[in-house]
Every structure is written in C-alpha cells, then in structure tokens.
Amino acid sequence: MPLESTIICVDNSDFMRDGDFIPTRMQAQQDAVSLIFHAKTRSNPENNVGLLTLSEHNQYYCYFSGRVVTQLTSDVGKVFSKLHLLPIEGKLDFCKGIKVANLALKHRQGKNHRPRIVVFVGSPLEVDPNEFTKLAKRLKKEKVSIDIVVFGEESSREKFEEFITVINGKENTNCHLICVPSGANLPDTIINTPIIQSEDGSGLPNGYAASAFAFGVNPEDDPELAMALRISMEEQRRVQEAEIGRGTVGEEAQLNPSTNIASSVQQIDATVNTATGNNDMDVTQLTEDEQIALAIEMSMKQAASGHTNDVEMKEETADSAGTLSNIQQTSKTNENTQQNTDSFAVSLNDPQFLRDVLRDLPGVDVDSEAVRAALEQVHQQQPNKDAEDKDDNDKSNVTKKKKDEK
C-alpha cells in the first residue's frame, strides 16, 4: 500500500458526448474516476487524489486547458462535486494537460508520496511526435508514473504504446496502458487492470461493485443486500478454489499480539497473498462481518484437526485487541494446515471457538439470551464434529445475528 498522490486527468472534449459507452462517455468516465478515487483512498487513507481537465475551456477566447479542477485531496466530496459539474467542450490538449499535472504534483503537500498521473483519453490525439517523446522522457526522469486509459478511440493506440515503453524504460516503473473498446463497460474493465490492483495484488476493496448495478442491486441504495450477495458469490468462488489446493504458507513468525495491528496485518497480507493465491481480496479491507464469514469458511475447510488449532488460536488471540487480529490469526492458522473439506460451518461445531468469535464481535453480549441459546444448541446437537444439520441453522442464526448487529 504505497503512499501515492494521484492526479486524474479527465477528457472533457466534445467527443465525450458520444453514446457508445453507456450512457455517455462522459458519464462512464465519471464512474471510472470515482472508482479509482475509492481504490486509491482505500488502499491507503493518506493518499491524495486531484482532478484536472484535459481539454480547452473557452472563456473569453483565452484557452484554459489543463485546468486543475481540484487540488490533491483525500476528501471525496470535493472531488465528486467538481467532477459532476465538468462541462463538455473543446479539444484535447494532451501534452499541456500532462505538464500541468506534473507541475501540480511538484507542489504536492505530501512530498514523500509517489506521484502518479492517470489519464483518460477518448478523442483522437494530435500531437507532435517529438514533443511526445520528450514529454515521456521528462516524466521518466522525474519518476512520475503514468497510467493511460484509452477508450473508444483506436487511432492513437500505437503512439501511446510508444509513450509507455519510453516511460517504463528498462525497469518497470509500473506505467500502464489500457485500451477499452467501444461499447464495453469502462469501470468494469478498469477493475481488472493494474490501475486498481496495486503491485501486491490487493485488488479492489469490498464495498464497491464495479458497475453501480452489480447483482442488480445498487450498492448505494441497499448496501447490506449488495454485500450479502457479494459474500455468497465469494463463498462460491472460494469453495471452488479450495479444490484447486493450497500451498503451504511459509512459517509465519509468531505474531506478538501486542504489536501494532497494522504491521501484523501487513505481515499476514504478505503471506496470505504470496502463499495462497486464492485470496485475491485483501483481507484487511473486508468489513468485520465479511471477515468473520471468510474466517468461518476457511476454518470450516480444515475439518479434522480443528480443535487443537482452535485452542492454540484461542490462546493466541486471548489478549489480542479487537476482532481484526482475531480474524487475521484465524485465517493464518487455517492457512497453515492443509485441509480440504467442502462442508460448511464445521468450525461452528466447536462451542468454545464460537463463543470466542462472538465475544469479540462488537455489540454482542455473550451472556445474552439469544447467544446462550444458540451456543446450547451447538453443545446439544453434537458430541461429534460431523453433525451438520443444525450447523446450518446455527450459521444462519449467527449470520442473522450479525446482520442484526449492523
């Protein structure tokens, strides 16, 4: 999660009125911009994003292209309010826009942030090739990374490819070129590209579906439903991936519960991501509820030796602060053992484990009636871990409870 200051350059030339992207190119661009904004701020809350227009803004006949609309900020509201008010006019002036973005990045407040420019280009490029290469070399010298998203316009593709190769040079300074053909869904296409996914593959955080109407549900209108749908999709996916098999995690250093949660999270991040390859989602970025669901699912997969591991994990987590590290360590210990079961909610068989999990849940009183009743249910119906009938009930109880707590 590197510290980054990003300037997003929006193409607001007349070509943006085109309707080949739904509903218009401009709108698709706006969606994509908000996507990138969220991705950057979630990956690191100290990241800053600014906005800049690339095309000329005719006011009293003086050309105003490359106007910085919003300075580098982490405030969502500022960027969005200006974004939606952008007029569509003029012609693209790529080089000038990039140069102004460069200047703006030079004056950024976070001097230790890595500068990055994300450019959207949706109109034909008219540029002097010499100037173009000079610009690329300059950006490379100043170590500014640049991502170019070309959408709806194929003519300038080779020029941009050259641009990117010049900038990347011998070592890959992670500059990318993404071409989106007409008619595709711009935000969706970008999600799978390296623009959103940072180098360690942390990927898109939850809470934001690619297109606003994923699963037929708008995440803004009904975030809980959207999240529930997303969880079940991911469970499916995880079940499938579990069958592919997991590599062992190289031994995790004993996590000292008193260390900074952030560093332990990062450590786990690294191992989880490198080792499994299943986790294409950054565990830290799931909400707590989803983490619990994820953890339960993972522990369910390791049928047999569940108890001892749970006991260890319990002791480790006894004095760790917060659900976060609890879940992290659960997933960690689960990863260490290689188990492949498909049955769900085996871990709920262990009442102690369940109690622990519930205790750490915010807002759940372990001694409350409902919880006790549920735990008794777990006690009762099984002497043996393999009884699964009521487990599903429990699971739905627990999930229902969790949903109630929200």
Partner 1 sequence: EKVVVHPLVLLSVVDHFNRMGKIGNSQRVVGVLLGSLTNKILDVSNSFALPFDEEEKEKDVWFLDHEYLENMYTMFRKVNARERIVGWYHTGPKLHRNDISINELIREYHPDSVLVIVDAKPKDLGLPTEAYIAVEEIHDDGSPASKTFEHLPSEIGAEEAEEVGVEHLLRLVKAN
Where does this chain bind partner 1 (CB under 8 A)? 59-64, 66, 68, 70-71, 73, 96, 99-100, 103-104, 106-107
Between residues 66 and 203, which has the closer beta carbon with respect to partner 1? 66
CA distances from 357 to 6, 256, 289 (A): 39, 19, 11
Instruction: Give the three-state DSSP class for 226.
Output: helix
The conformation of residue 214, written as its DSSP 8-state character, comes to G
Report which of 181, 184, 185, 189 is spatially closest to residue 153, judged by C-alpha positions: 181
Choose between 38 and 96: whose C-beta lies nearer to partner 1: 96
Q: What span, in angstroms and rounded, lies between the C-alpha atoms of 362 and 207?
A: 20
Cα 29 → chain centroid: 19
Tell me how far, at minimum, the Cβ of 99 lies from partner 1, in Å: 4
Instruction: Please identify, using beta-carbon distances, which residue of 31 and 56 lies nearer to partner 1.
Output: 56
| Nearer CB in complex with partner 1: 107/170 | 107
H/E stretch holding 144 reads: none
Strands 48-53 and 4-10: parallel
Closer to partner 1 by Cβ: residue 126 or 365: 126
- Smallest gap from residue 39 Cβ to partner 1 (A): 23
Please, what is the minimum distance in Å from the beta carbon of residue 31 to partner 1? 25
DSSP 383: S
Q: Helices marked H in 169-273 — which ranges?
A: 186-191, 223-244, 261-271
> 67 - beta bridge partners?
53
Nearest approach in angstroms of CB 394 to partner 1 is: 53
Least separation, in Å, of the C-beta of 204 and partner 1? 29
DSSP string, 254-310: PPPTTS-HHHHHHHHHHHIIIIIS---S-GGGS-HHHHHHHHHHHHHH--TTHHHHH
Identity of the residue, 61 or 389, whose beta carbon is nearer to partner 1 in the bound complex: 61
Shortest distance, CB of residue 145 to partner 1, whole angstroms?
A: 19
**In terms of CB distance, is 113 or 301 closer to partner 1?**
113
Q: How far is the CB of 100 from partner 1 (least distance, A)?
A: 6
Residues 6+ apart with CB under 8 A from 222: none
Please state the closest distance from residue 103 (CB atom) to partner 1, in A: 4
Altogether, the residues listed in the chain come to a count of: 406
Distances (CA, A) of 155 to 45, 87, 159, 314: 37, 25, 9, 60
Give all strands of the β-sheet with 67-73 in edge-to-edge order: 67-73, 48-53, 4-10, 114-121, 145-151, 176-180
Least distance in angstroms from the C-beta of 127 to partner 1? 14
Which one, 26 or 104, has the nearer CB to partner 1? 104
Name the token pair of 70.
Answer: 């919003």
Which of 202, 330, 325 is closest to 262 using CA atoms? Answer: 325
Q: Based on CB atoms, which residue is closest to partner 1, 32 or 83?
A: 83
- Round to whole Å and give the CA distance between 23 and 330: 44
Q: At residue 9, what are phi and psi to the nearest 5 degrees?
A: -100, 120
Comparison of 103 and 304: residue with beta carbon closer to partner 1: 103
What is the closest distance, in whole angstroms, from the C-beta atom of residue 68 to partner 1 in the complex? 6
